[in-house]
Structure formats: structure tokens, C-alpha cells
Amino acid sequence: MNENLFTPFSTPTILNQPATIPIILFPATLVLTSKHPINNRLATIQQNLIQLTLKQMMMTHNAKGQTWSLMLTSLITFIAMTNLLGLLPYSFTPTTQLSMNLAMAIPLWAGTVMVGLRFKTKNSLAHLLPQGTPTPLIPMLVVIETISLLIQPVALAVRLTANITAGHLLMHLIGNAALALSTANFSLTLLTSTLLTLLTILEIAVALIQAYVFTLLVSLYLHNNT
């Protein structure tokens, strides 16, 4: 039972070759690029969505923060596409792999810290001590703030991994239960409706992408400006 539940999260292989390579590359091919001023509906919708998220995200930054706009837009596009494609049955979601999320979180977080340390050294170091703390508490509070800073990338990665994995697991479990109870007909409707609502709530996986980029954004903003 344990082995059966977790097999969707092991990296897929086709004839012992890693199939993760085309699976990770595939969502990027869904971004439509065209040179025409007026495109078809799908391309226009996609372009408008990207433009909307770009403007919403980058409004709060000054000029220096806006140099990160391409990075953050591609981040949110990549994670959103990957998570939405993972909602299809029998598909593999790369964002369930802790490896990928760590490899995304650590360099980006480190980049924001280094930008802050390089251009506003005193400001970013001053964040380690909140204003108005009584003097005996200062050493302990610096340690606490340093730990909370260092745990940011781990929290980013584990948050994304755990949320997507837990959602997929729940869908598997509830689907299996609904199937097993289909012989006793009266509870089938209740379970399938639960599965359906859980699936729509899981479309809030897209909200998780917002959470990911937003937290990354917040740390960038903090390191850059305040």
C-alpha cells in the first residue's frame, strides 16, 4: 500500500532512460511566441495574462528591482504551467521533486541576499535586529533573525514540494476510495463530489505559485529597498 501510493512521485523512466527531461522541457513549449501584432485568441489570452502578472508583480519595485522582472515572470510561468499540467491524470509533476525546488529556491534567495548585501550593506544587516528591542535581548534576537533568514530557501522549497505532493496524494486516495465504494452505490456520489471539490480547490495550486513568487518577491523587495 505504501509503495503503491508513492510511485507517482518517483522519476519516470522509459526503457531505463530518464523521461523527466522531456517532461520538464514540455511546459516551456506551451508559451506561444509570434511576431504578428494581432494573434489568435489563445496567443492573445496568454500574452495578456503574462503582461498582467508582469505589471502586478513589478509595480512595487523600484528600478533596480525591476531588472529582475524577466526572471520572476519566467519563474511564475514555469511553476504555474508545471503545476497545472500535473493535475491531469497519470501525469508527472516535476515540482513534487525536492531536488528541483531546492535548486530553484537556493540560488534565487542567495541572489536576493547578495544584492542586498552588496548595494545596501548597512540596511540589509540592520534587518537582523528589529527596532526597539531592549538591550539584553539583542544577541538572542540577532541569532533568531539570522536563523529565520537562513531558513527562507528551505521553507520555499519544502513548501512547494509538500503542498503539491500532498494534494496529489489526496486525490489518489480519494479516487481509490471512491472506486472501492462504487459497489455500494449510495456513498459514491458523496465521495465523487468530495473529489471534485478537492480538485477545484487544488486548482489553487496556482495560488501556490503566487505564494512562491510572492515570498521570493517579498524578500527581494526587502533586501532592495527598505
Partner 1 sequence: MPQLDTSTWFTTIMTMLPTLYLITQLKLLNTNHYQPPLTKNSNLQSHSIRWQPKWTKTCLPLSQPQQS
Residues that bind partner 1 (CB under 8 A): 6-7, 9-11, 18, 20-21, 24-25, 28, 31-35, 37, 47, 50-51, 70-71, 73-75, 77-78, 94, 96-100, 103-104, 161, 165
Q: Is the CB of 94 or the CB of 116 nearer to partner 1?
A: 94
Pick the closer one to partner 1 by CB: 20 or 225. Answer: 20
Question: In angstroms, what is the minimal distance from the CB of 223 to partner 1?
Answer: 20
Closest to partner 1 by CB, 124 vs 161, is 161
Which H helix or E strand runs over 211? Answer: helix 205-224
Backbone angles phi, psi at 14, to 5 degrees: -115, 115
CB of 213 to partner 1, least distance (A): 13
Shortest Å, Cβ 214 to partner 1: 18
SS3 24: helix
The C-alpha cell at 209 is 505559485
Are the beta carbons of 164 and 205 closer than 8 angstroms?
A: yes
Least distance (Å) between residue 36 CB and partner 1: 9
How far is 142 from 185, CA to CA, in rounded Å? Answer: 60
Pick the closer one to partner 1 by CB: 23 or 205.
Answer: 23
The distance of closest approach from Cβ of residue 33 to partner 1 in the complex, given in angstroms and rounded to an integer, is 4
Q: How many CA atoms lie within 13 A of 184 on its CB side?
A: 7
* Minimal distance, residue 3 CB to partner 1, in Å: 9
Residue closer to partner 1 by CB (options 37, 134) is 37
160: nearest Cα among 110, 211, 108, 199: 211
Are residues 96 and 9 in contact, defined by beta-carbon separation less than 8 angstroms? yes
Query: Is 62 within 8 Å of 225 (Cβ atoms)?
Result: yes
Identify which of residues 70 and 137 has a Cβ nearer to partner 1 in the complex: 70
Phi/psi-derived region of residue 45, left when phi > 0, alpha when psi is between -120 and 50, beta in every other case: alpha
